[in-house]
Every structure is written in C-alpha cells, then in structure tokens.
Structure 1
Amino acid sequence: MKLTPLDAPGYEKVVYAEDEASGLKSIIAVHSTKLGPAAGGCRMFAYPDFESAKIDALRLSKGMTYKNAAASLPLGGGKSVIIADPKTQKTPELMQAFGRFVESFEGMYTTAEDVGISVEDIEEAAKYTSHAAGLNKGAFASGDPSPVTARGVYLSCVAAAKHAFGHGDLEGKIIALQGLGHVGMYLAEHLHAAGAQLIVSDINASSVAKARQAFSARSVAPNDIYDVEADIFAPCAMGAILNADTISRLNVKLVCGAANNQLADDAAGDALMARGILYAPDYVVNGGGIISVSTEILKITDEKWVDQKLEQLAVTTDKILTKAKAQNASPHKVADQFVDEILAQ
C-alpha cells in the first residue's frame, strides 16, 4: 500500500492511500485532536475526481471537530473517504485494505459508518484495525449509528420548530425530506409518527417507493425537492446543497436535516437568514451518530448516557437559535462561535 501525505494547512494529518491489490483509493483527514483522538465515519462515493474527494474529506473532517465539540465529547475531528462506487466496486478485500490504512494512524483516528458504508463493511475493516467503531460484535459494540442520528435530528427539529413556528408540534407540518438512506428513512419514521406530511426525494427508486407506502409520502424528482411548498426542508443526503441557486428556490420556514456540511459556504447561511429561513446548524443537530459510536470508543456502559446526550443536542440547538435571534446573527455563525469557545478552553 502506498501512503502519500497531502498538504492541508490547518489540519494535523492528511494522507492518501492507494492499494493496487484491492483497488483501494482513500483519504484520511485528521483536522484536530485538541479534545481527544479524532473520530468520524468513512464515506464511500464515486467522486468525479481526486480533488473533489479531497475537498469533501477536509470539509467533513473539520465538521467532525465541531460536531464532537458541540456534543461535548472528548474526541477530535477526523473523517475518511473511499473513492469508489459503493454499489459496484465495494469488496471485502477493499474494506480490509482500508482497515490497514486506518491502523497506520496508530490510534490518532477511529473510523465508523457514513454514506455508502454499512456495519458489515466496518466489520471487514475491523479485521485489520482496532480503531473501528459502530460494530455489531464486541463488549462495547454500538451497532449501526443511523437510528441514533435520526433520533437526534428529530429532537433538534422539534426544538427548532419552536423558534420557527412558535411551538414544537410537527403534526400537520409539511416536511420536504431529501435523501432516504439509512438516516433519512429512520428520520421519516419519526416525522411520520409525529403526524407530519412528507414529501420525499431520492435517487433510489426503491427507497422512494418504500417511503410512499410506509409513510403515505408524496414524492418528487430529486432536483424538484427544492421547489416544493413546505414548512420544513430536511436535507439528509450529500453536503453543500444549500447555495445561491437552491436557497432562492426554497419555500420553507425552517431547514433542519441530517446531512453534513449543508451550507456551500458562509454566504449560504447569510442568504437563508436574509430570506427569513431559520437554519438549524447541521453539525449540532446530527451529532447522534457520533454519540452512539463514542460509547464504543470511550467504553461507556451507562445505558442512559446516549439518551441524555441526544436530549442535550436539542438543548444546544435551542440555545444557539435563541442567541442568534437575540444578536440578529446567522445561526451557523453563532454555532461556530459556540464551538470555538469550547476549543479555546
């Protein structure tokens, strides 16, 4: 396996790995270990080019520093990406090679599931590294973090709804949900149970069909989800989807979803505010997954610990939105300030 350090100012360690035997092409980016060893999932995606993969790895890694800090976890920020199509190029040998790559960081980074990666995939990687979490087996195994992520987003959505609508009751609210992967589908369950009306989109037709049947959801084409008239937009797919073009098309009062790095840039957060759309900062509301995985990393045995941490996400969301309103500031900037203060301490 060939390991190539990558130049990334402001990051502690970024490495590209290429393994000819398995076909692995992967980047691990460690942004910060100030609060503890870095932790963050692995994403497998058919990136159009190497630069796109690197940018995503760096954005996701920094996002994990902020997510872990916002969730009050003693963990730093790191992330990994595998440049491959998860439907056609994933093999046990490739995941095992990825495990060896993770192990080369000697505990500086712990991996877990993310887009395109299942519990079974991580268990293949875990055959060659002791720094993998989100497993089904083991003394502290936490399993698939997706349901926990979804629950945290739901609780935070209720908290954010109080600011957007004056109450947290989601019954009758129309929610445009983008992405029906592991987290998106679980979130749809919560929202449907709360009485919300769902409009869904996904590139996977079978997932759309499942949501239509299970939740009486209406569906639209993936690119049309930005144009529907709804109360809440819940992005649960890829990042950087909130930009000048898509924000101008939104007809909602609140954005709250599970996707990482939803804002294409800082200007996107300001643009949402200018349009009177409340934004619940993604790395705050979607911290449930890393909370679940951290029980494995930190060897937590208290059964109430995860529930308490998830409830705290909603409290933190409320605090940030309250402060943003008081300061007439964009919530994403208030959230960044909140985490920067934690890191400074």
Structure 2
Amino acid sequence: MTFERGPSVVDSVTQDAAVMLEFLALSRQHVLQAAQVDRPQKAETLSSTSELLFTGAQVRELMEHHQKCIAWTHNVVHMPTFLDQCEERLCSGGTSIEEDWVSLYYAILAVRTEGLVTLYHAHASKLEEVEIYAGDELAMVCYQKSIESLNQADFMKNHSLFSVQAICLLIYIGHNTGDSDRISVLLASGSRIAQCLAIHRLGPDHKSSISQCTDQILRTRRLIDREISKRVWWFLVRQDWLQIPFNNTYNIHPSQFNTPMPRNCDEEAFKMVVDGEVIQHDQDQYTQGSYTSVLNNVAVIIWKMEDRMCQKRAEEETESSMRDLYSEVLQADREMKQLIAGLPLFSDLK
C-alpha cells in the first residue's frame, strides 16, 4: 500500500491519517526528512534581534577569544565551522540570516563560565582594543537577544541543531542571573528537539554510512557534522544526569539512545578527519573535548548509582534498606576516585 505525498502531508501532518500510519511504519523522522527534501530553506531578513552589534573585526576578535579560552568548557560547538559561518553570514555583509543561527551567535557571545565571558576579559583593555565597552552589560543584551531569536525562529516548531546548541550555551548565564526556571524548561525542550532531530540515535561510529560517500570534502563535512551532533547530545545527557543529586530524577535513559560519546579529536579539519575517519586521540593528549569528556564519565557514574538505588529502594525506609542505599553511594565514590586517579596530568581535577 502506498500513500500519495502532497503539500497537505507536510502542512497539516497531524490531520492526515495516511501520514499517521506512515509515521508508525517508517518512523516520524524518516517521513519528515523525506517530506522536506524539496522544500526551500527558510532564511529570515535581518531583524531587530539580528542587527549587528559589532563590526566584522570585533566579531572575529570575540569568536577567536571564545575558541581559545571558553569553547573547552562546553565543547558544544565546532569553532572552526562556526567561524566560517560568521564570515559567510556576518562579516561578508550578507543580507539574510536564519534566526536560529542568530540565537546561537548571541548565545556564544553571552556565555559565561568559571568567570569567563566572551564579552568579558580579565583585563578590560583587551576589549577596549577593539572598542567594546561594558562587557557584562553587553553579555546580558546578547543573552536576551538569543532568547528573542529562539522565539522568532519558533524553535519549538521549527527544529534545528542551532537552536539546541544555543539552549545548551544559555545555561551558563541563565543560572547566574536567576533565570533557572526558564533554563530548566529550555533544556527539557532541547532534549526533545534533539530526539526529533534523531541525534540520539546516531549509532556506533564504525557503522556510519558516511564512509561510503565518494566526495572527500562532503565526507569530511558530514563526519564533522556527526561529531558536532554527538557533542550536543552528550551535553544534554551530561546536564540531565549531573542534576540527579539535586532532583533525584532524570529525563534521559541510556536504553533510549545509542549515540556514542564524542571523540577526543583535534578541531582543525585536516587533523580531525584523516582517510575518511575522525581520529581519536588517547586521553593524555589535550583537545577541546578533554574537560567535558571527564564530566561525561562523571555523569555516567552518577546515573549508574541512581539506577542501582532505584532498584533497591523499599516502600518503607528501614535501617537495613538505608544501609543498602548507602552502599551504592560508597560504590559510586570508589568509581569516582578511580576515575580521578586516572586523569591525565594536564587536568586540574587531579
């Protein structure tokens, strides 16, 4: 049995019974990808949220600072790729731009972590060299513009990896400004959007069909895009599981995804991809992903502890049941110490 595919299939998908059956048979993502093949990509004219706050030279300076000093703290963006996108969309005087990309752009400018902000340097003179002042205030402006751009892109309907990346980065300033309730909901939305984009089901690296692509440039691009998707998904997993001690619950279950952890690889394309494969370094070689790799493994330990405790929890708390639960805490503590003992020498955690 076949179903005719027409405009109504895409425009009113929830009202089309035939598509509903096709979703069940082939999976939602498969059908949506097929339906969108011939649809033109939407590009928004520069709006109030995407008007440039900075010159091309300032954008380059800020993004290079982020690449050198901040990207390692989140590893959710492949900075060489994003710098190319900045040149294409902003620095070359383009007249149109996607609002979801604009949201990521402003999120990168706003992000702060461990006292580092793209718009704030240890010495104010560094910003003044490119005629940027009041870095903290501008960071808040960019934070608000990122959220406005998400809404203008209608991110909950128009799913995009850019939107998920922006959400991941917004937590670094949102939690510090009393906006935690908004950030928590955005993170939950980001996880669901990521699932709709199917980046939670990328499968093992060695089974990827990308290696069958004969165009070397296209194959490299696809491998980098896959690695970016892995980074984004594991950021969401990490944030979800690291919150277990505070919430005693989690949203993402490991039985529901098979996307492997990101590889410990270089960022430059010619070093990152060699002979059609993303080169994996051992943990003793520092890369942009070294720090988050440690956090990923910490998150796994925390989830395993919670899972074991859930299996042991009794309806009524007794001294014996509490002792059993505490034994799992001690087990997690031993696993954490073993992880820390094996950290490479460059890590500040050792």
Larger Rg: 2
TM range, normalised to the smaller chain?
A: under 0.3
Give the structure with the larger strand fraction. 1
Q: TM-score, normalised by structure 1?
A: 0.26
Q: TM-score, normalised by structure 2?
A: 0.26
